Chains A and B, each alone.
Chain A
Amino acid sequence: MPTLKVNGRRVIVDSDATLLDAARAAGVEVPTLCQFDGLEPWGGCRLCVVDMSQANWDDDWFKVVTACNHPVDEGMTVITDSDRIIETRRVVLDLLLARCPDTPLIQQWALEYGIEQTSYTPNPDPDDCILCGLCTRVCDHIGVSAISSINRGWGREIAPPFNQPPPDCIGCLACAEICPTDCIPFETSTVRRKIWGKEFEMLRDPKTGEAVITKEQAEHFAERSGVPMTYFETSDRSKRREMAKTFEKLQVVK
């Protein structure tokens, strides 16, 4: 279990921890936009940059690394608030604010770093997507990969194949839920769900008509987890009612 120093505070963390874990363990906040605990770190937004020095490096020699994906090592020193780190984060946020001038999340973060207005040319046709990649990564993670990033560079965007309703999408909404700027539109009701232009029939409780997931979602997860399909077919409320009835049968209750 390596020991590190984060902003002068000593912390002991697991050997497979990241610098971000170490910073959190030390009670130091490091801003992130593309990091999510349940997913592999990606290192795309670059907001979580920190200064890091290995134990065997010269005392004053620090390297700028991203905390989210850098492994910890015994004797490391991490500084999260040096001038150049703050300045680098400021450039990143300034650039994101130019890309998404109307996005509240970015406005808030930018303001936190003292930026009220971008120094750059604002995107003339902005949307709220910051290309953090969380949506495509979560989609990959659950084994669906219905959407992906397309094109490259400034032209990069998130899209389903051929910009058509994605055939592989199971309508789980994970992409929309994980999106930090809520920029993936969807509609959902007990009857129907729609996302990425694809319509889904909900798996509805036969008695109450309630629904939480789509049929495709149930099939995908049944196959993936080995949990029988029948588990998914009733609503949680119906299940509780069923269970209450079972209790009544099992235990002698008036």
Chain B
Amino acid sequence: MAETPCSDLSKAEEILGRYPQEEPALIQVLQDVHRAYNYLPCDVLERVAEALEVPLAKVFSVSTFYKAFSLEPQGDTIVKVCTGTACHIRGAGQLVEELERQLGVGPDETTEDFKFTVKTVNCVGACAMAPLVIVGEKYFGSAKPARVSKYLAEGGADEN
């Protein structure tokens, strides 16, 4: 588990200012931090621990327990493949493989140019459109491996 610091704590201070400085706010703060920095920088976690008066070990524990958090910088665009049951029986596995062929990275990995991070997610609740690929904020229902490159182009472009 590498630790990656960031250079700018001001965003973290702004986030901390929005919550009561106590332990129950921890997960909410970490989510906002993750959104702001695209990962959880180690120095921000230290600051959060101090501000909320939660031991650093507990902050680290929470950061590694929940799937929403990453301690490594993520790609500009997150590509999520839903691997819920409906998507599984309708071929989500093939989508993951196709992404691996196209991007050269498997689930929870980031391309070398930091453009894409691939993730598998548990059921996003759009089972009626299974299988599902989400590129950035864009949902692609009834997804087919042959169209993966198109999804990447469309969703990736949206982000920038």
Q: Tell me if chains A and B make direct contact, with any CB pair below 8 A.
A: yes
Residues on A lying within 8 angstroms of B by beta carbon are 136, 139, 144-152, 159-164, 166-168
Given A162-B1, A163-B1, A164-B3, also A152-B57 (CB < 8 A): no
| Complex Cα spacing A145 to B59, Å | 11
Given A151-B65, A162-B3, A162-B42, also A168-B56 (CB < 8 A): yes
| Complex Cα spacing A163 to B60, Å | 10
B28 at interface by CB-CB < 8 Å: no
Most buried by B among A159, A160, A162, A164: A162
Contacts of A163 in B (CB 8 A): 1
Most buried by B among A146, A148, A149: A148
The answer on a CB contact under 8 Å between B65 and A152 is yes
B64 at interface by CB-CB < 8 Å: yes
New contact pairs (9) apart from A148-B57, A159-B1, A162-B1, CB-CB < 8 Å: A136-B57, A139-B57, A147-B57, A148-B61, A150-B61, A160-B57, A161-B60, A162-B71, A167-B56
B55 at interface by CB-CB < 8 Å: yes
The answer on a CB contact under 8 Å between A150 and B64 is yes
Write the chain A residue with the least CB distance to B55: A145
Write the chain B residue with the least CB distance to A151: B64
The answer on a CB contact under 8 Å between B57 and A168 is yes
Q: Among residues 1 to 36 in chain B, which have CB atoms less than 8 Å away from a CB atom of chain A?
A: 1, 3
Contacts of B57 in A (CB 8 A): 136, 139, 145-148, 160-161, 166, 168
Write the chain B residue with the least CB distance to A145: B55
Main secondary structure of the interface of B (DSSP, over half): helix
| Complex Cα spacing A152 to B65, Å | 6
Contacts of A152 in B (CB 8 A): 64-65
| Mask: chain B, 39-78; 1 = CB below 8 Å from A; 0 = not | 0001001000000000111111100110000010000000
Main secondary structure of the interface of A (DSSP, over half): loop
| Complex Cα spacing A139 to B55, Å | 11
Contacts of B3 in A (CB 8 A): 162, 164
5 contacts between A and B (CB under 8 A): A148-B58, A160-B57, A161-B57, A161-B60, A162-B71
9 shortest interchain CB distances as A-B pairs: A145-B55, A148-B61, A148-B57, A161-B60, A162-B3, A150-B64, A161-B56, A151-B64, A161-B57
The answer on a CB contact under 8 Å between B55 and A162 is no
| Complex Cα spacing A145 to B64, Å | 16
Write the chain A residue with the least CB distance to B42: A162
Contacts of A146 in B (CB 8 A): 55, 57
Write the chain B residue with the least CB distance to A153: B65
| Complex Cα spacing A144 to B58, Å | 11
Contacts of A161 in B (CB 8 A): 45, 56-57, 59-60
| Complex Cα spacing A151 to B45, Å | 16
Contacts of A148 in B (CB 8 A): 55, 57-58, 60-61
CB distance from A58 to the nearest CB of B (A): 38
Contacts of B45 in A (CB 8 A): 161
Write the chain A residue with the least CB distance to B4: A162
| Complex Cα spacing A147 to B59, Å | 11
